[in-house]
Chains A and B, each alone.
Chain A
Amino acid sequence: MIYSLICLHLENIFDWNVKQLFLYLSAEYSTKNNALNQVVLWDKIVLRGDNPKLLLKDMKTKYFFFDDGNGLKGNRNVTLTLSWNVVPNAGILPLVTGSGHVSVPFPDTYEIMKSY
C-alpha cells in the first residue's frame, strides 16, 4: 500500500481546446525477468470545468500493484511518475510526463501493511 499526498494545479494545462485530462501515476522499475516494467497505480479523469486544483490525499493504489514474478521484493529503485493524456475537443492526443519523480525502495520482506 502506498499512501501519499499530492497537490496538483492544473489550470495552466486547460486551454480552449482541452476537453479532459486523463491523469495517472505510474511506477517504473526493472527486474531480473523483465528489463522494463511500467504499472499504473491510479488514474483520474479531470473534465473541463472540474476544479483544477486537486488535493489527492491518501490515494490508495487503485490497481493492485504486483509484479510479473517476484521482482518487487527488495527492489531498490521503483520510480513513481505522474503523467497525463490531454484529450482535445478535436486534434492531437499528446501524452505528457510531469517533470520530477519520486524513487521508492521496496522492502525486503512482504508486509501486510506499512505506511511511508
Chain B
Amino acid sequence: MLSLDFLDDVRRMNKRQLYYQVLNFGMIVSSALMIWKGLMVVTGSESPIVVVLSGSMEPAFHRGDLLFLTNRVEDPIRVGEIVVFRIEGREIPIVHRVLKIHEKQNGHIKFLTKGDNNAVDDRGLYKQGQHWLEKKDVVGRARGFVPYIGIVTILMNDYPKFKYAVLFLLGLFVLVHRE
C-alpha cells in the first residue's frame, strides 16, 4: 500500500538525508523569492501580481481574477487606464479605471478614478479631504490578466484552515519526496 511504503521511507532516512531535504526545500523557497523580486524589478511595481477582490470592475474582472501590473515611471498615467492604487493608511489595493487627469508642466499629475461597475466616482473612497490621487498612491497599471486563478488566494485568506492544510501538505510532500 502506498501509505505504508512512504512511512518506511521516512524511517529509513537518516539525519544527513533529512538535512539534505531541508536544504532542498530552502532552495525552492529562495528561488521562488528571487523570481518574485525579479518581477518587482522588471515591472517597477512593489506588487506585480494582484488578485481582484471586489466586483467593482465587472464584467471585465471578477473576484478571483489575477492581474499583471507594471509601474514604469516612463509610462504616463492617462485616462482609460486601469490602475491599482492604495489609499493612504489603508492596506487593501483597489483596481479601478482613470476617469480624469490634470497634469502640470512639471509632470505632477492628479487624477480621479471610478470602478466600471460603480455608479459614482471614487471620491467617496479617498481619505477625508482628499479629492485626487497622485503617482505615489499607484501600485501599478494592469497590463494583462488571467481569470479565476486568484480564487486560491481568496480561499486561503477567508478560510485559514484551508491555508494551513495546503501548507502542511506542501511541506510534507517536499520533505518526504526523494530524488
The chain A residues found within 8 Å of chain B, CB to CB, are 19-20, 22, 24, 26, 33-40, 43, 45, 47, 63, 68, 83, 85, 87-93, 95
Contact = CB atoms under 8 A, between A and B. Distances in A.
15 contacts: A20-B59, A22-B116, A26-B79, A33-B102, A33-B104, A35-B104, A37-B100, A37-B101, A38-B79, A45-B116, A85-B80, A85-B82, A92-B143, A93-B143, A95-B80
Interface in B127-155: 142-147
B161 to A, nearest CB: 30
B14 interface: no
A87 B58 CA distance: 11
Contact of A93 (B82, B100, B104, B116): B82
Given A38-B79, A45-B116, A92-B143, A87 B100 contact: no
A34 B103 CA distance: 5
A33 B110 CA distance: 12
Interface of B: 59-61, 78-82, 97, 99-105, 110, 116, 121, 142-147
B105 A39 contact: no
A36 B76 CA distance: 11
A35 B116 contact: no
Nearest to A84: B80
Contacts of B99: 39-40, 63
A87 B81 CA distance: 12
A37 B59 contact: no
A24 B116 CA distance: 11
B60 A39 contact: no
Contact of A24 (B79, B101, B103): B79
B60 A19 contact: yes
Nearest to A23: B80
A47 B116 CA distance: 13
A85 B110 CA distance: 22
Contacts of A83: 80
Contacts of B147: 89-90
A22 B59 CA distance: 10
Nearest to A37: B102
A83 B81 CA distance: 11
Nearest to B144: A92
A70 to B, nearest CB: 13
A95 B142 CA distance: 11
A20 B99 CA distance: 19
Contacts of A36: 101-103
Contacts of B61: 87
Contacts of A45: 59-60, 116
Nearest to A26: B79
A40 B116 contact: no
B103 to A, nearest CB: 4
